[in-house]
C-alpha cells in the first residue's frame, strides 16, 4: 500500500532537515543565485558543478554583473561543463532581465518560464524557493521518487506523463512550505533513492514503498526512449606560424557556438597524414611541414561520439600565413592567449596533453 500523503510528506521533510547537504545556494532567497545554481546543475553532478557556481558568484555577484560580461569570458568560465547552450542562454537571459526588467526576476512561475533558457523545472525552482509559490519541481529525482514509492508506471519519456507527476506533487505540497517540500524531494532522490543502487535500508518510507515491496527498484521509473547517437570524425589541423597558433571560432547554430577549435576536416573516418594533406590546396600544401600526428581522441556528447586526430603543422613562410588565415577563417593566438579563450573540452585535453599552454 502507498503511504498516507501526510505521513509520506512529513517523513521526507523530517529526513531532509536531518540529512540535507550544506550547499551555498541553500538558505538564500536570491532568485539570481537560485537560477544560476539550477542552470549549472542541469546535466551536471553537484560535486562537479559546485566549483563553477562559486567561480560565477565570485566573478558575477549579481545578474547585472553577468549581463555586462563579454560572452567569451562567460564561455571561458563555463569551460569543462559542456552543454554550452546553457551558458549562452544564461548570458542572454541575464541581459534581458537587466535591460528589460530593471534587473528584477519575475516572481511567478508563469512569467519565469517565458525567459530564455528557463524551462518548467528551473522556473518552478525559482518561483518556489525565491518567492514561495506553490509549484512543484519535476526533475529526474522527483520522477524516480514518486514512481518507486507510489508505483506510478508511466513512461516518463512521454510528455504527457509530466502532467500526472506535476498534478500529484502539487496536491501533496498543499499546506507545506514549497521551498522545503521541493528541496526535500530532490535531495531524497539525490542521496537516498538513487538511480542504480538505492539505499532502501535507509529509506524513511521503505515499509510502504511500492518498488521495494515488489522488487521493482530497477524497473521504475519507466523510461523508454532510445537516444540516437551518431559517430563523427574530426581531423584537426593545428597550424603554427612562428610562435603563433591559428584557431577557428565556431559559428552560430553550432553545438560549440562561440568556442574556439582548430581548422577541421570532417570525414567518414579518421585520415592518415598523407590523405589529410592531399585535401589541402596545392599552394598551401607546398609551404607547410607536418610536425606530428596525435593519438586518437574520443569525446562523447549526448547525441554524438566524436573521434578526433590532431595534425600539428608548421607554416614555413610566415608571410604566407596570412593566406592560410584568410582561406580557413582562422585567428592568430600566442600560446599564452590561447589558454584564455573558450574551447571545447576536447580541444583543451589536446592542448594540455601536448603541453602547448604556457603556465
DSSP codes, 301-334: -SSEEEEEEEEEEEES-GGGHHHHHHHTT-EEEE
Q: In this model, does residue 3 exceed pLDDT 60?
A: no
Give the pLDDT band (50/70/90) at residue 1.
very low
With CA atoms as reference, report the closest residue to 348 among 268, 247, 269: 247
| Dihedral sign from CA coordinates of 79, 183, 172, 205 | positive
Reading the block at residue 343, the C-alpha cell is: 574551447
pLDDT at 6 (0 to 100) = 66
Reading the block at residue 131, the C-alpha cell is: 518567492
**C-beta atoms surrounding 42 within 10 Å:** 15
Mean residue pLDDT of the chain comes to: 90
| Cell 515499509 belongs to residue | 207
Number of alpha carbons in the 13 Å side-chain half-sphere of residue 78: 31
Percentage of the chain modeled with pLDDT above 70 = 97
pLDDT at 333 (0 to 100) = 93
241 DSSP assignment: E
Q: Which pTM value belongs to this model?
A: 0.82
Find the mean pLDDT for residues 344-351.
92
Residue of 4, 38, 133, 314 marked catalytic: 38
226 DSSP assignment: P
- For 216, phi then psi, to 5°, come to -120, 25
Reading the block at residue 16, the C-alpha cell is: 531532509
Q: 288-336, pLDDT tens digit by residue? A: 999 999 999 999 888 899 999 999 999 988 888 888 898 889 999 998 8
Residue 193 belongs to what H/E stretch?
none
Q: Between helices 5-19 and 178-191, what is the axis angle to 10°?
A: 70
Give the span between the Cα atoms of 53 and 63, in whole angstroms: 13
pLDDT at 336 (0 to 100) = 85
Q: Between helices 46-59 and 31-41, what is the axis angle to 10°?
A: 140
Give the pLDDT band (50/70/90) at residue 359.
very low
Find the mean pLDDT for residues 166-181.
91
Which residues, other chains included, contact 330 with Cβ-Cβ below 8 Å and sequence gap of 6+? 239, 246, 247, 248, 263, 324
Angle at alpha carbon of residue 307, lines to 265 and 89, rounded to 5°: 85
Asked if 38 is an active-site residue, the reply is yes
Q: 113-137, pLDDT tens digit by residue? A: 999 999 999 999 999 999 999 999 9
Amino acid at each position: 500500500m502507498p503511504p498516507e500523503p501526510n505521513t509520506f510528506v512529513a517523513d521526507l521533510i523530517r529526513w531532509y532537515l536531518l540529512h540535507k547537504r550544506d550547499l551555498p545556494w541553500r538558505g538564500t532567497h536570491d532568485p539570481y543565485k537560485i537560477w544560476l545554481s539550477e542552470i549549472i546543475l542541469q546535466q551536471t553532478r553537484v560535486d562537479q558543478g559546485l566549483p563553477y557556481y562559486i567561480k560565477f558568484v565570485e566573478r558575477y555577484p549579481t545578474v547585472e554583473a553577468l549581463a555586462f560580461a563579454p560572452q567569451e569570458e562567460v564561455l571561458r568560465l563555463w569551460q569543462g561543463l559542456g552543454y554550452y547552450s546553457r551558458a549562452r542562454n544564461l548570458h542572454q537571459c541575464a541581459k534581458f532581465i537587466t535591460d528589460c526588467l530593471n534587473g528584477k526576476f519575475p516572481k511567478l512561475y508563469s512569467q519565469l518560464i517565458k525567459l530564455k533558457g528557463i524551462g518548467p523545472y528551473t522556473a518552478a525552482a525559482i518561483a518556489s524557493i525565491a518567492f514561495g509559490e506553490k509549484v512543484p519541481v519535476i526533475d529526474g529525482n522527483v520522477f524516480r521518487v514518486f514512481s518507486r514509492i507510489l508505483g506510478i508506471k508511466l513512461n516518463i519519456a512521454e510528455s504527457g506523463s509530466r502532467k500526472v507527476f506535476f498534478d500529484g506533487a502539487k496536491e501533496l505540497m498543499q499546506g507545506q512550505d514549497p521551498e522545503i517540500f521541493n528541496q526535500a524531494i530532490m535531495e531524497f532522490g539525490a542521496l537516498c533513492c538513487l538511480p542504480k543502487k538505492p539505499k532502501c535500508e535507509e529509506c524513511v518510507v521503505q515499509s510502504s514503498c511500492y518498488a521495494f515491496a515488489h522488487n521493482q527498484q530497477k524497473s521504475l521509473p519507466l523510461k523508454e526512449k532510445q537516444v540516437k547517437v551518431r559517430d563523427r570524425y574530426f581531423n584537426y589541423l593545428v597550424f603554427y606560424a612562428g610562435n603563433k597558433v591559428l584557431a577557428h571560432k565556431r559559428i552560430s547554430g553550432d553545438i560549440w557556438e562561440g568556442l574556439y577549435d582548430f581548422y577541421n576536416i570532417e570525414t567518414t573516418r579518421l585520415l592518415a597524414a598523407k590523405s589529410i594533406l592531399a585535401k589541402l590546396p596545392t599552394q598551401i600544401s607546398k609551404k607547410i611541414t607536418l610536425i606530428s600526428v596525435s593519438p586518437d581522441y574520443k569525446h562523447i556528447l549526448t547525441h554524438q561520439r566524436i573521434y578526433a586526430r590532431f595534425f600539428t603543422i608548421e607554416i614555413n613562410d610566415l608571410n604566407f600565413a596570412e593566406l592560410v588565415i584568410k582561406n580557413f577563417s582562422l585567428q592568430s593566438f600566442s600560446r599564452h592567449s590561447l589558454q584564455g579563450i573558450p574551447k571545447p573540452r576536447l580541444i583543451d585535453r589536446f592542448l594540455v596533453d601536448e603541453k602547448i599552454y604556457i603556465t
